[in-house]
Amino acid sequence: MNKDQAKGKLDRAKGTAKKAWGNVTDDDAKKADGSKDKLHGAIQEKYGDAKAAINKNVDKVR
The pLDDT tens digits of the residues spanning 9-52 come to 999 999 999 999 999 999 999 999 999 999 988 888 888 888 88
pTM exceeds cut of 0.75: no
In a domain, 62, yes or no: no
Residue 13 lies in a domain: yes
- Residues near 9 by beta carbon (within 8 Å), at least 6 away in sequence: 41, 45
For helices 28-61 and 3-25, the axis angle rounded to 10 degrees is 170
Taking alpha carbons only, the member of 21, 24, 25 closest to residue 35 is: 21
Contact 37, 17 (CB under 8 A): no
Domain with 25, as residue range(s), is: 3-55
Number of domains in the chain: 1
Do the beta carbons of residue 37 and residue 7 sit within 8 Å?
A: no
Could you tell me if residue 44 is inside a domain?
Answer: yes
Note whether residue 21 is domain-resident: yes
Cα 43 off chain centre by: 6
